[in-house]
Amino acid sequence: MKGAGECGKSTVVKQMRIIYADGFSDIERLQHLPIIRGNAIKSIAVILHAMNTLNIQFEDRNLDPLAAMVREFQSNYDLTINSEIPGHIVDAVEKIWSDPNLKECYKRSNEYQLMDNAKYFIEKVRQLSSMAYMPSTQDIINERSQTRALVEVMIDVDTRQHRGTFRIIDVGGQRSQRRKWVHAFDNVTAIIWVASLADYDLTLQEDQKRPTNRMKESLTLFESTIHMPIFRSKNIVLFLNKTDLFKKKIKTSPISDHFSSYSGGSDFDAGCQFFCNQFLSKNQNERRRIFYHFTCATDTQALTHLINSAVNTIMDDVLYKAGLA
Ligand SMILES: Nc1nc2c(ncn2[C@@H]2O[C@H](COP(=O)(O)OP(=O)(O)OP(=O)(O)O)[C@@H](O)[C@H]2O)c(=O)[nH]1
Ligand SMILES: [Mg+2]
């Protein structure tokens, strides 16, 4: 699994566990609870911070002290010690979230760094804070937790066409993590490259001083990685991900503002194809094959078919190269 930060690699791996293995045990679900609660609190705190930097004030100025209290709580929130969210913080988050000016600030989230599923977690904050809360599968799929090590997962897959054990290596995509990549990929069968379509109007989190467009960084990273000697002849399965977010944002954030050669307006298919071609055109090795899919990695049902198809492609190729097909 490769791709830039936050594009959805770990989410795809979680989905493979749901599709082919048993998903998550209760013990595992509870281990995710502090992260999930932290996502809710962090999301609202990030929007509050953005209100300051974008110079937006609450419509209801009585919310100012509540906002200060929530930000203070978040800055001391240590998910390794105590992940509970007290009732007065939950009340404050709900009141703040109902302010129309805060919602305006939320809509401008491409101007700052907000996790994709912020709304999902903020709107669930009361449920999440209950003592006996057991995270759902969808909570775990929607959660944001940066990968900071090489994570190896073994999954027995069965697509009806093929059966076998897959060793999947999930890497962190942020800049600081990328030097670890080469060591882990000495002998891989294929690369599953994940890219977020929703990145086209976002800037890179790691690069606050010199804003770099995330999609452009993802394309450059793709080009340089696939031409590294150890990957030069590997086939690639390309997941162009976050189609749900892409579909929404192209209506209000024109692609051509960020990619001047694009002329397809707000048409979803034209946008998808444009970015797909951008990736395909980076490949200099004509004998290498790139199989692409447009995905929404948080939608298990829609992803099942695409993952089956990707796994079949990889297995067909293994058998072909071994002379067995
Ligand atoms: N709405 C939506 N959210 C998605 C989609 N794919 C991933 N996400 C969310 O995007 C966030 C980042 O996903 P991750 O799987 O952690 O990304 P990653 O590529 O592993 O990130 P790093 O580990 O930092 O490299 C998570 O909150 C996911 O739930 C998608 O297709 N749609
Ligand atoms: Mg990850």
pLDDT in tens, 197-234: 999 999 887 666 778 999 999 999 999 999 888 888 88
Indicate if 57 belongs to the active site.
no
Which among 44, 97, 104 is positioned nearest to 71, based on CA atoms? 44
Which among 198, 301, 191 is positioned nearest to 252, based on CA atoms? 198
How far apart are the CA of 117 and the centre of ligand 1, in A? 9
Contact criterion met (CB below 8 Å) for 24 and 137: yes
Indicate if 207 belongs to the active site.
no
> Among residues of the chain, what percentage have pLDDT more than 70?
97
Residue closest via CA to ligand 1's atom 26 equals: 144
Instruction: For residues 76 and 200, state if they share a domain.
Output: no
Mean pLDDT computed over every residue of the chain: 92
Domain end marker among 125, 142, 159: 142
Rounded to whole angstroms, the Cα distance separating 43 from 47 reads 6
Domain end marker among 80, 109, 142: 142
Domain of residue 135: give its range.
26-142
* Amino acid identity at 57: Q
How far apart are the CA of 17 and the centre of ligand 1, in A? 16
In-domain check, residue 183: yes
Contact criterion met (CB below 8 Å) for 204 and 277: no
The better pLDDT of the pair 322, 57 is held by: 57
Determine the atom of ligand 1 nearest the C-alpha atom of 3.
19
Indicate if 6 belongs to the active site.
yes
Whole-angstrom CA distances from 44 to 2, 37, 65, 97 are 29, 11, 15, 8
Instruction: For residues 14 and 130, state if they share a domain.
Output: no
Q: How confident is the model at residue 80 (pLDDT cuts 50, 70, 90)?
A: low
Q: How confident is the model at residue 258 (pLDDT cuts 50, 70, 90)?
A: very high
How far apart are the CA of 7 and the centre of ligand 2, in A? 8
Instruction: For residues 127 and 167, state if they share a domain.
Output: no
**Domains identified in the chain, total number:** 2
Please state, as a whole number, how many other Cβ atoms lie within 10 Å of the Cβ of residue 248.
Answer: 13
- pLDDT (0 to 100) of residue 320: 80
Which among 136, 290, 166, 323 is positioned nearest to 222, based on CA atoms? 290
Q: What is the CATH number of the domain that holds 290?
A: 3.40.50.300
Contacts of 67 (CB under 8 A, 6+ apart): 48, 51, 58, 92, 96
- pLDDT (0 to 100) of residue 324: 66
Rounded to whole angstroms, the Cα distance separating 278 from 164 reads 33
Determine the atom of ligand 1 nearest the C-alpha atom of 147.
23
- Residues 257-281: what's their mean pLDDT? 97
- pLDDT (0 to 100) of residue 325: 58
The radius of gyration of the chain from alpha carbons, rounded to an integer in Å, stands at 21
Instruction: For residues 258 and 157, state if they share a domain.
Output: yes
Instruction: For residues 177 and 133, state if they share a domain.
Output: no
Instruction: For residues 293 and 307, state if they share a domain.
Output: yes
Indicate if 174 belongs to the active site.
yes
How far apart are the CA of 116 and the centre of ligand 2, in A? 14
Q: pLDDT for 16-30, tens place per residue?
A: 999 999 899 999 999
Beta bridge partners of 154: 167
pTM: 0.94
- pLDDT (0 to 100) of residue 81: 64
Rounded to whole angstroms, the Cα distance separating 1 from 155 reads 14
314, burial (CB in 10 Å: exposed 0-12, middle 13-18, buried 19+) = buried
Determine the atom of ligand 1 nearest the C-alpha atom of 12.
15
The better pLDDT of the pair 227, 49 is held by: 49
Determine the atom of ligand 1 nearest the C-alpha atom of 177.
25
Q: Taking each helix axis from N to C terminus, what angle separates 87-97 and 64-75, rounded to the nearest 10 degrees?
A: 130
Token duo for residue 123: 């709107």
Indicate if 53 belongs to the active site.
no
Instruction: For residues 163 and 235, state if they share a domain.
Output: yes
Residue closest via CA to ligand 1's atom 23 equals: 147
Instruction: For residues 46 and 105, state if they share a domain.
Output: yes
In-domain check, residue 227: yes
- pLDDT (0 to 100) of residue 282: 96
Catalytic residue, candidates 6, 99, 116, 217 = 6
Rounded to whole angstroms, the Cα distance separating 59 from 62 reads 9
Instruction: For residues 36 and 178, state if they share a domain.
Output: no
Domain end marker among 142, 165, 193: 142
